[in-house]
Amino acid sequence: MYIETERLYLRQVTLNDFMYLYDWKNSLLLRKMSVGLKTNISPTQQKNDILSSLKNDYDLYTIIVNKSNDFPVGYIRINWLDSFKKIGWLRFGMGDCRNKGFMNEALLATLEYHFNKNVFRFEAEVLSFNKASLKLLSNLNFTIEGTRRKAHYQEDSYHDVHILGLLKEDLNKI
């Protein structure tokens, strides 16, 4: 899979990307906003995760690359939740190039690409304090469809996890 936008291109992850993913996922901000501060992240674990993804038909892992300098800036990962690949669970993260609109551009292109391939729905989970991701998904017309109350424990307190959904007709309203 290859997707191109004005400023970016998205390509399938390769084993050579493991250090980018390790650095991004091991950053304090990304750990806090997604996997949790106590989650152990290692280069070996990232290599194994990439290898597992490449062998798994229900996992689509892409790297977002800035075309101006050919440098990776983030990732988007889709786990297919059904055997027909019509419902995807969306995960994403950025490196240091935040607040430049890259993730919005990459997600919009990814969603459009897959909806044009007859995907029916995307889902995402976002921690309640992750305001940037909630705003980003809201701008892409994702709807909060439910909340798992106090389902995430971090920094000595429990936090809600919002479940968001997007249908093709929702994206077309942008």
Mean pLDDT of 53-82: 95
DSSP states along 3-65: EE-SSEEEEE--GGGHHHHHHHHHSHHHIIIII-TT----HHHHHHHHHHHHH-TTEEEEEEE
Domain limits, the chain = 2-171
Question: For 83-116, what is each residue's pLDDT tens digit?
Answer: 999 999 999 999 988 889 999 999 999 999 999 9
What is the model's pTM? Answer: 0.93
Q: Is the pLDDT of residue 1 over 70?
A: no
Angstrom distance (rounded) from CA 51 to CA 62: 13
What does the pLDDT look like over 10-32, one tens digit per residue? Answer: 999 999 999 999 999 988 888 88
As a whole number of angstroms, the distance between CA 36 and CA 50 comes to 20
CATH number of 2-171: 3.40.630.30
